[in-house]
Amino acid sequence: MEQITTDILVIGSGLAGFLSAFEAEKAGLRVLMVGKFAIGMGTNTSLANGAFTVSNSTFSKEDHLQATQESGKGLNQGRLINLLIQKGPEAMERLRGDGVPLLERGIGCIIDRPDDSSQLPGVLLIRPLIEKVKKSSIRVLPGLTIFDLLVEEGEVQGAFGFLRNGIPCLIRSRTVLLSTGGAGAVYSRNDNQRSILGDGYALALRAGLPLFDLEFVQFYPFVLGEPHLSSFLLYPPYPKEVRLFNDKGEDLLERFGLRGDLNRAIIVKRDRLSIDLYSMTRNGDVFFDLTQVPQEKWERYPLNFLKKSKFPFRERPFLISPAVHFFMGGVEIDEEGATSLPGLFAAGEVTWGIHGANRLGGNALTECAVFGILSGQSAARYVHKLEQEQGPFPPFSENLLKKWDRKVRSYLRKRRGAFEPPKDMLKDLKDLAWRYASPVREEESLKEGLDRLASIEKKIEKVYPATLKDLFKKRDLENVSLLLKAILKGSLLRAESRGSFFRKDFPDQDDTHWLKNTCYRLEKGELQITHRPIK
């Protein structure tokens, strides 16, 4: 078994992970950053449209507070919102110092880019950070799959996983920082990276931590729906010549009252649009039409990004559908970015508290920047305190090595026997999520979804991986099924509609009974759900 010792282990390499790693390195600590795939480019940060909502000369901190609270519909955590708003401008200056090209615009900052560039803003955001890591002392291990957090004597002391070459790896770390992103890819329709399967949520649950508000999933209405093409988001701004119609030829912009104001609508009516379009796509097709857009507009972003595809976007209408975009729920953190499990910190979409029932556009990247910096600083202080109290980092004990050696053998023993291909099962889970945990939910379909999930779980239990790759796939199946069970059960219990969450059988927001957060725990292998009233 490979043994690695470090001061801080950062799991995930998006914006939050990079900034936390930089803070830890600045504090003189050894930092290890790991990711399931490529560092930086394998994350949702690289797909982002590059907008940060933050106070500026025309958008006050009071404006930012009001807009965030209105989007969250009463479920936000005020202590975290205040940090986001107060430290947002400072975080933007920090990013500029790291080489990120930011320009003040509208209600925050955007990635500054040449008009004729076809690069995604997220790529322009992440590249300077990748270059900075290359010049730093931060150690990176792409392709390392984390299976478990190492919890000893009530605190996190590292993690266990497998290296890219299949060798088991035990990482001993004084602190661990989760920056694994959300779980958009558990749905068949999503605009996330394919690796975003809720790994961080599953790690936290299995380590004994509660998760909150997983039923709140945000959908984006305009995502490519053509068969055999990636379901990527159609980035705004949208030209005024765009048309939206169904398979009967009806003008949907006219029908929804959006003619001439689609860019405004995507901000204020995003969720209603997702609900309406989802209902339409259950019974027919919806088309996006750019054929009337003048040639000169195809030379500028975002249309010049579409030009790079072989698909004839300029020549004919194409299918679209809503898709999962963001998860509001996650791990609870305090003002230091610390979880309730000593030694474990978290930042970014994997955490909960800022967005409440719905995320204000642009707050996701701002959250990653502010809390990536904050959690990295806090984790560094935690390490220095341990050094003062306990002295040099102790080596792996014999008992610890034996314990994890037994655990490795238990994983590898599962490789014996016949194996049912997991690819189809993962597709079944993703399809189940899209059908039953969709933008529109109701009691009957949620119960049916849980029944169908139970039958898939029985199949997963009987999977005996024949290779290490199959072992990784089985863990993905276990993680995805656990998360879907939480979403379906939480959705069934919440008898109201609020923010991004819509129950067809309970279409109204109910502050009398449901101004509360949903708490998910894993106890003796069983998912337990309770509710905590807003303080």
**The architecture CATH gives domain 220-324:** Alpha-Beta Complex (3.90)
Q: pTM value? A: 0.95
The pLDDT of residue 349: 98
Residue 248 neighbours by CB under 8 Å, 6+ apart = 284
Q: Count the helices and strands in the chain (H runs, E runs).
A: 15, 19
List the domain boundaries for the chain: 2-216+328-398, 220-324, 414-510
The pLDDT of residue 512: 96
Find where tokens 């008898």 sit: 495
| CATH 3.50.50.60 assigned to 2-216+328-398 | yes
The pLDDT of residue 91: 98
The pLDDT of residue 135: 97
Q: Do domains 220-324 and 414-510 have the same CATH topology?
A: no
Per-residue pLDDT of the chain (535 residues; tens, 9 = 90+): 899 999 999 999 999 999 999 999 999 999 999 999 889 998 999 999 999 999 999 999 999 999 999 999 999 999 999 999 999 999 999 999 999 999 999 899 999 988 788 999 999 999 999 999 999 999 999 999 999 999 988 999 999 999 988 899 999 999 999 999 999 999 999 999 999 999 999 999 999 999 999 999 999 999 999 998 989 999 999 999 999 999 999 999 989 888 767 888 888 889 999 999 999 999 999 999 999 999 999 999 999 999 889 999 999 999 999 999 999 999 999 999 999 999 999 999 999 999 999 999 999 999 999 999 999 999 999 999 999 998 887 777 888 888 888 888 777 665 555 556 666 899 999 999 999 999 999 999 999 999 999 999 999 988 877 778 888 889 999 999 999 999 999 999 999 999 999 999 999 999 999 999 999 999 999 999 999 999 7
User: Residue 477 half-sphere exposure, CB side, CA atoms within 13 Å?
Assistant: 27
What CA–CA distance (Å, rounded) separates 503 from 491? 8
The pLDDT of residue 264: 83
The pLDDT of residue 46: 96
Structure tokens at 126: 């992440």
What CA–CA distance (Å, rounded) separates 492 from 460? 24
When the candidates are 1.20.58.100, 3.10.180.10, 1.10.10.10, 1.10.3720.10, the CATH number that belongs to 414-510 is: 1.20.58.100
The pLDDT of residue 179: 98
What CA–CA distance (Å, rounded) separates 449 from 436? 5
Across 262-272, b (16+ Cβ under 10 Å) vs e yields beebbeebbbe
SS (H, E, C) 459-503: HHHCCCCCCHHHHHHHHHHHHHHHHHHHHHHHHHHCCCCECCECE
Residue 355 neighbours by CB under 8 Å, 6+ apart = 68, 71, 72, 76, 216, 328, 363, 367
Task: Answer for the pair 507, 497: CB distance below 8 angstroms, yes or no.
Answer: yes
The pLDDT of residue 410: 77
